[in-house]
């Protein structure tokens, strides 16, 4: 298993509350990603980071923010959770310096339910 | 047109059969091609990684890439119940951004 730890793994929260998901890696990979996976939509990129304090938006970034203050940690924040953000969230990492540097490795997922 | 098209299935096969999965894509800049396997309530795990056109074999798994047709395939020989999972294709132009298919659910019946 790639050294990726997501927390919390399961969370139920109320509409309108802020939520932060944490991704921690022990691989020293440069790139980190947050995806959400929903039936009928597959994996969709929310935000990604290409270095400490360097982040960019993905295809479904509205309502989400991210921060990366250390190489190993990438935080995803839902500013004010909505029911449409009920999903499973995957953190992923990659490193262009690796022999398979154009592939990414996923964490185990965080299941979020917004009620 | 979506960048990557993958028939979601599901696909049911008897144990021991050959499983054939495929994806088509539209972006001719894609150079790196991957297949991921995802078990229920788990994260996707990298199964096969291929650069450019050609075949790659790893045990019972074979990945094929035909860039001229913008078509990639995954074959699973002697399928086992443990191969029951969702298989996702993914591809990249080398910019550390991946485009994913929606996944193909495979069920291998004992």
Name the residue of chain B whose CA is nearest to A102's CA.
B96
Chain B hits for A108, CB-CB cut-off 8 Å, are 42-43
Q: Indicate whether A1 pLDDT > 60.
A: no
Q: Which residues of chain B have pLDDT under 70?
A: 1
pLDDT one-digit tens code per residue, A60-106: 999 999 999 999 999 999 999 999 999 999 999 998 776 666 789 99
Please report the pLDDT score of residue B95 as a whole number: 79
On whether any CB of chain A is under 8 Å from the CB of B99, the answer is: no
Give B1→chain A minimum CA distance, Å: 14
Chain A hits for B98, CB-CB cut-off 8 Å, are 102-104
Chain A hits for B103, CB-CB cut-off 8 Å, are 42
Please report the pLDDT score of residue A101 as a whole number: 62
Query: Can you tell me whether residue B83 is helix, strand or coil?
Result: helix
Give B108→chain A minimum CA distance, Å: 21
pLDDT one-digit tens code per residue, B53-85: 889 999 999 999 999 999 999 999 999 999 999
**Mapped to the 3 state alphabet, what secondary structure does chain A carry?**
CCCEEEECCEEEECCCCCEEEEEEECCCCCEEEEEEEECCCEEEEEEEEEECCEEEECCCCCCEEEEEEECCEEEEEECCCCHHHCEEEEEEEECCCCCCCCCCEECCCEEEEEC
The more confidently predicted of residues A18 and A1 is: A18
Please report the pLDDT score of residue A96 as a whole number: 75
Give B80→chain A minimum CA distance, Å: 22
Q: In this complex, do A94 and B45 lie within 8 Å of one another by their Cβ atoms?
A: no
Q: In this complex, do B49 and A103 lie within 8 Å of one another by their Cβ atoms?
A: yes
Please report the pLDDT score of residue A98 as a whole number: 67
Q: Indicate whether A11 pLDDT > 70.
A: yes
User: Using 50, 70 and 90 to split pLDDT, how confident is the model at A40?
Assistant: confident
Please report the pLDDT score of residue A99 as a whole number: 64
Mean pLDDT of chain A: 94
- Which of B52, B85, B95, B97 to mutate to test binding with chain A, by most A CBs within 10 Å of its CB? B97
Please report the pLDDT score of residue B54 as a whole number: 87
Q: In this complex, do B43 and A90 lie within 8 Å of one another by their Cβ atoms?
A: yes
């Amino acid at each position: 298993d790639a050294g990726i730890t997501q927390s919390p793994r399961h969370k139920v929260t109320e509409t309108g509350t802020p939520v932060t998901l944490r991704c921690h890696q022990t691989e020293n990979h440069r790139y980190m990603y947050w995806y959400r996976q929903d039936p009928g939509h597959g994996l969709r990129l929310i935000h990604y980071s290409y270095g400490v304090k360097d982040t960019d938006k993905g295809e479904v970034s509205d309502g989400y923010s991210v921060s990366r203050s250390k190489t190993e940690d990438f935080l995803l924040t839902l500013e004010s959770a909505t029911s449409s953000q009920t999903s499973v969230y995957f953190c992923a990492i990659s490193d262009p310096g690796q022999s398979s540097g154009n592939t990414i490795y996923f964490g185990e997922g965080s299941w979020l339910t917004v009620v | 047109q979506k960048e990557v098209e993958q028939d979601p299935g599901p696909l049911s096969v008897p144990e021991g059969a050959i499983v054939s999965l495929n994806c088509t894509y539209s972006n001719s800049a894609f150079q790196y091609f991957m297949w991921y396997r995802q078990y229920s309530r788990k994260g996707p795990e990298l199964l096969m990684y291929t650069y450019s056109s050609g075949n790659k074999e790893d045990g019972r798994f074979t990945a094929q890439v035909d860039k001229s047709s913008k078509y990639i395939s995954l074959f699973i020989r002697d399928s086992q119940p443990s191969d029951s999972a969702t298989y996702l294709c993914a591809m990249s132009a080398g910019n550390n951004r991946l485009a994913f298919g929606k996944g193909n659910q495979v069920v291998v019946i004992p």
